[in-house]
Amino acid sequence: MDWLGTILDYSKEFGEVAVFGFLFAGFLQAVARPTVVARYLSGYSLWRANAIGATVGFFTPLCCCTAIPTALALWRGGSRPGPACAFLIATPWFNWYGLVALWIFLGWQMALVVAGSGVLIAFLTGMIIDWQSTDRCTARSLATEVPETVCTTTSCSVKSGSACCSTVDVVGSGKFFDFSHPWKKLQMAGTNAWALARELLPWIVAGILIGATVKTWLPTAWISALEARDWLTPVLALIFATLLYADSLGSLPLVNALLQKGLGPGNGMILLIAGVGSNIATLGPIYREMGARVAILYACCVMTLALLLGILWTLFL
């Protein structure tokens, strides 16, 4: 009964953000102009472009899976590799949808820890990648090749030049949002919202079941003994997060259960950020599009910075 009650509690918590979140996310994806974002990311100094890359995802609520084709679209559309990578790292947690879910599941303090750490790790990783990039002085000028899949929340592959839900604005008016043809935009929003729900619901259901199982049956003494190992626990959390790929929202119930069992906040942050930022599903597309050098730097920076911040948060929270 405790297990079923926990499942119902987690389902209710997801229900508080899911319906409105899917609809509003679909609408934002229908009206946003990704090529304008790409121009911002390629037209500024390195630090400013990476700062924008790490924070602009707040307005484009994407999970870790759907952030991948969008980040690659920004890269192909003229962004440097650093800002595109910064966008990919920060967006799953630093967006209004992810922040609301973090707040509901983990509380406001943990929400700020995870989102703030995500932005900081994303910014520093982007800066390091750009500093070490052989073409760091100039951005790529491939604006005409921006894949049109960036207008949808649902595609986990990039299809350059294919028909999608809207026409890519290569020249554009410079405005971040396009509210023309409102009826068509509403139709696109509904389509995007339904597709996003179909994509994320399996992850959410799996996360609810795993989280309920851990919360109900995992002995608290195990977590207490693990936390007593000091430096070893963050390393184990990092290894576990890297090997076990999970959608960002789907991983929330598991981390919630572990925190209630006594896991430190820093280790919880490692599980959330490293889990969506340093797995094969993310590194594979980066390797194919940006090369082995960028992929290695990306993985090393995310894991190292997440580990250091995790140890820091565990000491001070």
Tens of pLDDT, residues 37-54 = 666 666 667 888 889 889
How many beta carbons lie within 10 A of that of residue 15, not counting itself?
A: 10
pLDDT exceeds cutoff 80 at 18 = no
Tens of pLDDT, residues 117-129 = 999 999 999 999 9
Tens of pLDDT, residues 222-258 = 676 666 666 778 888 888 877 766 667 778 888 888 8
Cβ proximity of 203 and 247 under 8 Å:
yes
What secondary structure does DSSP assign to 166-219, as a single string?
S---SS--S-SB---SHHHHHHHHHHHHHHHHHHHHHHHHHHHHHHHHHHHHS-
**Has this prediction a pTM greater than 0.85?**
no
